[in-house]
Chain A
Amino acid sequence: MSVAATRGISLNGLEGEIINIEVDVTHGLPSYQLLGLPDAALNEARDRIRSAIGNSGKRWPQTKITVSLSPAWLPKSGSGFDLAISIAILSATQQISELDLNETIFIGELSLEGLLRPVRGLLPMLLAAEKHGMRRAVVPEANLSEAQSVSRLEIIPASSLVQVLAIICGAEMPRQIPLITYENESPNFDFAEVAGQEDAKRGLEIAATGGHHILMMGPPGTGKTMLAERLPTILPPLNDDQLRDVAAIHSIAGTTQLASILRRTPPFVAPHHTTTSAGMVGGGTKMIRPGACSLSHHGVLFIDEAPECAHGILDALRQPLESGSIEITRAVGTTRFPARFILVLAANPCPCGRFSGKGRSCQCSSLQVRRYLNRLSGPLLDRIDVKLRVDNPTRAELASNDPRESSEEMRRRVESARAIARERFAGLGFELNSAIPSEFLRRKFRADSKAMSMLHILIEREEITARGFHKILRLAWTIADLRGVSIPGVDEVEAALALRTETSQ
């Protein structure tokens, strides 16, 4: 009897730690002990592994088994250690020959039959393995798609314990992995499907270009959700770094959007307005999970009926809006998730939603209307650059057969405008107009002198605040980039002003 060791990974947020799984098999009464702060799912691993080993034609040792997961002080959770533990047990009982597994990582949950099941958070696990100098990883075949975005690691997909054993003992590691290719299938949504709403489309295009946050106001049924859902279709596709970050977050959360993210589509997350603050920013007791604001990293966070959100939920977004990440502290520790998104808020003009057009059927009192809209706090609204009024399209617009502009055409403009901005900001540490620091706006990136004096007059007349002044300049830069103007002038600043004050009330 002897000791054997394999490697697994434990996640804390997006950070992973290599876990040494040691198994000691000694003489004594048959028993099984798991050390190293396991949670319930990990404790149940014994019964899964025992059945899986038996059903894979191997023997469960009738001796004293001690499994130690180190570092021992780190709480570990989940079913992802099943495979690593069973390989270690089989190795310790000499049922498989001694192998050099020091640079191999095993991830996967076992079914009672010995099949390998997918796990959540595989991508961040692999990224951590790569960072810690691992060479290869055995992963469940069902997780293969996300595993493929990790380039410097040899990925060995397997569908069962038997297959894993065959691969590692056969000394013949398959060099070629069947590559699953994602045909660049066009996204399901397209702005061409939206009738009318030309102003709103222009506003969204500007927001997508500069990374500005948006408030859409209008009566129910006018297309606010439809417009917001299509915003990701005009955002540039995710680059490699962004893809990894976003896919890793979605991998932990186990969302269904992972497939489209792996096709480089920016995520679109629309939490319901009854969501909790844990749902919005993340949380959890045993394992801290990312919330909607992290799931929408590099994409769009859409909150419909935003004024109906419970008190404090929207304001919880202020930290990520400011810093681009969210730090969550719970009893188990502190975790930081990235959260840099375009926020899209939608609101009705009043609680009943009928205060538009003649507004005569609206029964809301003036106080109710004011309370409803005041639920969007000032500091939050201050961070919103683009305010759009969305009204019903006209009959002519609905009936029109004219070909409407597609998302692709819009996205091309967004991309070329972003390229202009990127070039301008080269070496400065930011890429989007919405991220220009205010001291740069006052010196390096001013509008032309006429536009600047116009803005100063507005400040003097107290029509805009100093913060508003900076916001308008950032928006004006985006509009200038889209128009191909090298420096924002009076026209661009006026357009920016109009966008900031578009909504009524």
Chain B
Amino acid sequence: MEDIARLRLFQAIDGGSPFWTEEFANYGGDELITRILAGKYDASKRSSARIKSELLKNQHDGLIEEIGSSGARFITPASEEWPQGLNDLVAPPFGLIIKGSPVFSTSVAIVGTRNPTTYGARIASEFASGFADRDLAIISGGAYGIDSHAHRGCIAAEGKTFAVLASGVNVEYPAGNSRLFKEIEESGALISEVMPNVRARPERFLTRNRLIAAISIGTIVVEAAFRSGSLRTARDAAELMRVVMAVPGPVTSPTSDGCHRLIGERCAEIVTSVADAMELLAPLTAKNAGTLGSDDT
């Protein structure tokens, strides 16, 4: 069955690979598994050998049980709660693991540095509260800094907030945020593209960023240094034709340098208040905002 194949592939293949996405589209799940097990792919390329060995080991029932015991569920594009925005990705995930309530269809991503200034922390929190007041959900990562402040601001305003993690939904990383993760789960959900118990690896943060960009209708970068992972989220969002916004800061502040770069490169719109952002987002918050096609933007 299709869902069984999806789950096994989901477990075996790291997300974000256009090649495997295409193979999946061409052959379908069951046949793709057969082909991999039959050794149709060069073992030295694209982790094929590792994928094959995972597929030899993994069993649908075992995977379902593992997900279930972590208190989460596995959803696929066929699920009703599948965030439609993900379909705009070049390499959409085979599925997602969700722990919490279904993902709100109209959500805004708030991203930025892990070491914000008090200014950045305040803006992230206040913007999140402001969006929550306007019935928009918040999406971010699970890191310290802007991510955490955005979640807290949203929770304080009793909104719905979602964290897309680079690790399994039951792996509390960073550990200092474990209480926040509980609150996020109660408010919205923890989302992940890897199996429970899987630890975060550096490359997963980048593939995770594309999910944040795709699920949300727009991304706001609050504070980002010159080399910041959140700039990647902004670029992903721009490629998906989402609204990309950046909050300016003092030109002497290194943590605003990345935001200024995005604005300077015409990659992001400058926003200085929630109202500013709402002007850009309002056209997208209509009832079909969940099925964002390129014709919407």
Candidates A362, A366, A461, A462; contact of B254 at CB < 8 Å = A362
Quick one: closest B residue to A364, CB to CB? B115
Complex Cα spacing A373 to B114, Å: 13
Asked whether B222 is an interface residue with its Cβ less than 8 Å from the other chain, the reply is: no
Within 8 A of B (CB), among A452-480: 461-463
Distance in angstroms from B167 CB to nearest chain A CB is 16
A360 cross-chain contacts in B, Cβ below 8 A: 226, 254, 257
Complex contact A358–B257 (CB within 8 A):
yes
Complex contact A505–B117 (CB within 8 A):
yes
Distance in angstroms from A320 CB to nearest chain B CB is 28
Complex contact A366–B257 (CB within 8 A):
no
Contact with B along A366-397 (1 / 0, CB 8 A): 10011001000000000000000001000000
Asked whether B116 is an interface residue with its Cβ less than 8 Å from the other chain, the reply is: yes
Distance in angstroms from B149 CB to nearest chain A CB is 11
Asked whether B166 is an interface residue with its Cβ less than 8 Å from the other chain, the reply is: no
Complex contact A366–B252 (CB within 8 A):
no
Question: By CB atoms of chain B within 10 A, which of A355, A362, A504 has the most?
Answer: A504
Asked whether B58 is an interface residue with its Cβ less than 8 Å from the other chain, the reply is: no
Contact with B along A419-447 (1 / 0, CB 8 A): 00000000000000000000000000000
Quick one: closest A residue to B261, CB to CB? A358
Candidates B115, B145, B254; contact of A357 at CB < 8 Å = B254
Complex contact B113–A504 (CB within 8 A):
no
Complex Cα spacing A461 to B117, Å: 19
Complex Cα spacing A240 to B114, Å: 51
A33 cross-chain contacts in B, Cβ below 8 A: none
B252 cross-chain contacts in A, Cβ below 8 A: 356-357, 391
Distance in angstroms from B171 CB to nearest chain A CB is 18
A370 cross-chain contacts in B, Cβ below 8 A: 114-115, 144
Complex contact A504–B226 (CB within 8 A):
no
Contact with A along B260-275 (1 / 0, CB 8 A): 0000000000000000
Asked whether A275 is an interface residue with its Cβ less than 8 Å from the other chain, the reply is: no
Contact with A along B17-48 (1 / 0, CB 8 A): 00000000000000000000000000000000
Quick one: closest A residue to B253, CB to CB? A504
Question: By CB atoms of chain B within 10 A, which of A358, A369, A463 has the most?
Answer: A358
Distance in angstroms from A63 CB to nearest chain B CB is 77
B254 cross-chain contacts in A, Cβ below 8 A: 349, 355-360, 362
B117 cross-chain contacts in A, Cβ below 8 A: 504-505
Quick one: closest B residue to A356, CB to CB? B254
B156 cross-chain contacts in A, Cβ below 8 A: 461-462
Complex Cα spacing A333 to B113, Å: 52
Complex contact B118–A504 (CB within 8 A):
yes
Complex Cα spacing A461 to B254, Å: 28
Complex Cα spacing A349 to B144, Å: 18
Within 8 A of B (CB), among A330-379: 349, 355-360, 362, 366, 369-370, 373
Complex contact B225–A359 (CB within 8 A):
yes
Asked whether A449 is an interface residue with its Cβ less than 8 Å from the other chain, the reply is: no
Contact with B along A473-505 (1 / 0, CB 8 A): 000000000000000000000000000010111
Distance in angstroms from B5 CB to nearest chain A CB is 39
Determine chain A's interface SS by DSSP, over half rule.
loop
Distance in angstroms from B148 CB to nearest chain A CB is 12
Distance in angstroms from A163 CB to nearest chain B CB is 66
Complex Cα spacing A370 to B177, Å: 15
Quick one: closest B residue to A354, CB to CB? B254
Complex contact A501–B118 (CB within 8 A):
yes
Complex contact B226–A359 (CB within 8 A):
yes
Complex Cα spacing A262 to B44, Å: 80
Complex Cα spacing A356 to B252, Å: 7
Asked whether B255 is an interface residue with its Cβ less than 8 Å from the other chain, the reply is: yes
A373 cross-chain contacts in B, Cβ below 8 A: 115
Quick one: closest B residue to A363, CB to CB? B227
Complex contact A366–B119 (CB within 8 A):
no
Complex contact B225–A505 (CB within 8 A):
no
Complex contact A358–B115 (CB within 8 A):
no
Given A357-B252, A358-B254, A505 and B226 touching (CB < 8 A)? no
Within 8 A of A (CB), among B116-147: 116-119, 122, 144-145
Quick one: closest B residue to A360, CB to CB? B226
Quick one: closest A residue to B120, CB to CB? A504
Complex Cα spacing A501 to B117, Å: 9
Candidates A391, A503, A504; contact of B255 at CB < 8 Å = A504
Complex Cα spacing A504 to B257, Å: 14
Complex contact B226–A366 (CB within 8 A):
no
Complex Cα spacing A27 to B139, Å: 98
Within 8 A of A (CB), among B174-232: 225-226
Distance in angstroms from A213 CB to nearest chain B CB is 18
Complex Cα spacing A180 to B115, Å: 57
B122 cross-chain contacts in A, Cβ below 8 A: 463
Distance in angstroms from B213 CB to nearest chain A CB is 20
Distance in angstroms from A392 CB to nearest chain B CB is 9
Distance in angstroms from A249 CB to nearest chain B CB is 38
Complex Cα spacing A373 to B145, Å: 14
B253 cross-chain contacts in A, Cβ below 8 A: 504
Complex Cα spacing A357 to B225, Å: 11
Complex Cα spacing A170 to B76, Å: 109
Quick one: closest A residue to B226, CB to CB? A360
Complex Cα spacing A463 to B114, Å: 19
A505 cross-chain contacts in B, Cβ below 8 A: 115-117, 255
Complex Cα spacing A359 to B252, Å: 9
Complex Cα spacing A360 to B260, Å: 13
B114 cross-chain contacts in A, Cβ below 8 A: 366, 370
Question: By CB atoms of chain B within 10 A, which of A373, A501, A505 has the most?
Answer: A505
B255 cross-chain contacts in A, Cβ below 8 A: 359, 504-505
Distance in angstroms from B259 CB to nearest chain A CB is 12
Quick one: closest B residue to A355, CB to CB? B254
A358 cross-chain contacts in B, Cβ below 8 A: 226, 254, 257
Quick one: closest B residue to A370, CB to CB? B115
A391 cross-chain contacts in B, Cβ below 8 A: 252
Within 8 A of B (CB), among A199-218: none
Complex Cα spacing A349 to B145, Å: 16
B226 cross-chain contacts in A, Cβ below 8 A: 358-360
A355 cross-chain contacts in B, Cβ below 8 A: 225, 254
Quick one: closest B residue to A463, CB to CB? B122
A366 cross-chain contacts in B, Cβ below 8 A: 113-115, 145
B225 cross-chain contacts in A, Cβ below 8 A: 355, 359
Complex Cα spacing A463 to B253, Å: 22
B115 cross-chain contacts in A, Cβ below 8 A: 366, 369-370, 373, 505
A463 cross-chain contacts in B, Cβ below 8 A: 122
Question: By CB atoms of chain B within 10 A, which of A356, A359, A373 has the most?
Answer: A359
Distance in angstroms from A372 CB to nearest chain B CB is 10
Quick one: closest A residue to B254, CB to CB? A359
Complex Cα spacing A391 to B254, Å: 12
A-B pairs with beta carbons under 8 Å apart, 5 shown: A359-B226, A360-B254, A362-B254, A391-B252, A504-B255
- Among all A-B residue pairs, the 6 with the closest Cβ atoms: A359-B254, A504-B117, A366-B114, A501-B118, A360-B226, A369-B115
Q: Tell me the B residues contacting A by CB distance below 8 Å.
A: 113-119, 122, 144-145, 156, 225-226, 252-255, 257
User: What 9 new A-B contacts, CB under 8 Å, besides A359-B225, A366-B114, A504-B255?
Assistant: A349-B254, A356-B252, A356-B254, A357-B254, A359-B226, A359-B254, A504-B117, A505-B116, A505-B255
